[in-house]
Amino acid sequence: MVTASHNPKEYNGYKVYWGNGCQIIPPHDAGIAAAILDSLHPSSLAGSSTQGAPLDRAAWQQAVAAVTSHPLVSNPMVKVSEEYWHRLETLRFRSAGENAAAAAAVYTAMHGVGASYVLRAFQVMGLPPPVMVAEQEAPDPEFPTVAFPNPEEGKGAWRLAVETGEASGARLLLANDPDADRLAVSERCAESPGGWRMFTGNEIGILLADWLWTCTRTRVHTPASNANADAQRSTLAQHAAKYSVLSSAVSSQMLAAYACAEGLTWCETLTGFKWLGNRAKELEAEGHTVLFAFEEAIGFMLGPMFRDKDGVAAAAVMAELAAAEYAAGSTLVDRLERLQQRYGYYVTRASYFVADQPSKSRAVFDRLTAGGQYPQSVGGIAVHSVRDIGAGRDTGALDGTVSLPWQKGDMMLTLRLDGAATLTLRASGTEPKLKYYLEVNGSDRAASEALADRLVDAVSNEIICWQESGLSLPTTS
């Protein structure tokens, strides 16, 4: 699949999927790369007088037409699409009447391909069609209304959605990135700057996970009215362990805490849905039902849908969740607060520095890992263990090795601090960025927020040393 995701068209790349429906992981990636190098020039069809010679454009188009018109070739688009909508319908947990009574949300496709699919998804869920941000509804590779068509990047990308929300009176804003595999969410909130509360990917992740588990548990495992309390708990615990949730190594640990409290199986993977999807397939083969997977970069994989992030299904399910909260006199902010009160406050700070040359990121990691000697503290707080993916080392593990797949030289380093704080540094594999992910967990929100803010400065200036390392600050939109 060719896509530039949320980047300009000059960044076009492609996703490659294996026969299991997941993005490729080693060793398949190396095998495919080798095959590409052996076939750098498209050649004519067998039997042609020019066999082996590169084709010009007209000849190439003729060759493609010969293949696509062959009676043994079929286009599975209709069949696959109908199966997709059927699976999405299984994620509707409220009645048609309840969903039909919901107020319309605002939706922006961010000049991408999501609009028609989101309209169909809302129809499948029985929800009112969303109010479209008209200026951003049609695909346009020039992205004329936004500097960065990435709803993560800042308020600039949300400007038209907010204006549409104000004009329509909507309480909920939903945004896909241009290839519609990610979802951003904002809710009207008088206490938030500008009157709208933008949720992080970690917050959306725990909201969706809790909704899916709560509704699944109610639908599938409602105990008999005459069952005693101990029997009910025992039965539910047995069922819960066969349900799995997954998150990436740079995402919030709140999902792990939630899974532990609820008796679910939680798994961690490397960053990227190629890892999440393949691990989900393994769990399914072991008899698990995979409820949900996510990573903090607003990517979400829901239950019975395909094994990749899916911004369309996530938008429809989030709209139903919001409708349920509003009908109960609550909000998404309220629901998140209830979850935090129960499972702990997980305060995250994630950002990046621009590394215009890969060697600059490499130099930072070389300095931090030189001789196996890692930083001893961050902002005056001691580091009690380190996970160095590039060396396969985890000083917090009994055997001293990482449990995740690793390759020598991988630029990903996690520092675990005293006081339930964690810092992960990672060089992006697709963009010129050195990213950091900081999380503080505590029972007091204000204290956790204050510590996180203090540590951000230490991460930037003590650990990354961004100015000395020749890095630059991100451009805001």
Rounded Cα distance between 441 and 347, Å, is 6
Most confident of 46-50, 80-84, 232-236: 80-84
Query: In which residue are the tokens 């539910």 written?
Result: 236
Identify the CA nearest to 149 among candidates 141, 157, 161.
Answer: 157
In this prediction, residue 213 carries a pLDDT of 98
Planar angle of CA 281, 282, 284, nearest 5 degrees? 65
CA distance 150 to 5: 9
The pLDDT, as a whole number, for residue 366 is: 97
| Residue 422 DSSP code | E
- Whether 301 and 308 have beta carbons less than 8 Å apart is answered as yes
pTM score, whole prediction:
0.92
Integer-rounded Cα Rg, in Å, for the chain is 24
Report pLDDT digits (tens) over 28-39: 999 999 998 988
- When the candidates are 3.40.50.720, 3.20.20.10, 3.30.1180.20, 3.40.120.10, the CATH number that belongs to 81-198 is 3.40.120.10
Could you tell me the fold of the domain covering 202-309? Alpha-D-Glucose-1,6-Bisphosphate; Chain A, domain 3 (3.40.120)
The predicted structure's pLDDT at residue 296: 97
Q: Rounded to an integer, what distance in angstroms lies between the CA atom of residue 302 and that of residue 310? A: 8
Look at residue 50 in the predicted model and tell me its pLDDT. 53
pLDDT of 24 > 80? The answer is yes
Q: Is 99 helix (H, G, I), strand (E, B) or coil?
A: helix
Domain extents in the chain = 2-68, 81-198, 202-309, 345-464
Give catalytic residue positions: 5
Q: How far apart are CA 447 and CA 458, in angstroms?
A: 17
- Could you tell me how many residues make up the chain? 477
Residues 213-263: tens digit of each pLDDT: 999 999 876 655 555 666 655 666 678 989 999 999 999 999 999 999 999
Q: Do domains 81-198 and 202-309 have the same CATH topology?
A: yes
Whether residue 2 contacts residue 10, with contact meaning beta carbons closer than 8 Å, is answered with no
CATH 3.30.310.50 fits 345-464, yes or no: yes
- What SS3 state is found at 279? helix
pLDDT at residue 112 is higher than 80: yes
Q: What is the mean pLDDT of residues 258-287?
A: 97
Q: Which pLDDT score, from 0 to 100, does residue 63 have?
A: 84
| Residue from 150, 156, 162, 142 nearest 110 by CA | 150
In this prediction, residue 418 carries a pLDDT of 95
Identify the band that residue 456 occupies on the pLDDT scale cut at 50, 70 and 90.
very high
Question: Residue 223 in 3-state DSSP?
Answer: coil
How far separated are the first and last CA of the chain, in Å rounded? 28
| DSSP E strand boundaries for 275-369 | 289-295, 299-302, 345-354
State the pLDDT at residue 234.
64
Mean predicted confidence (pLDDT) in 279-301: 97
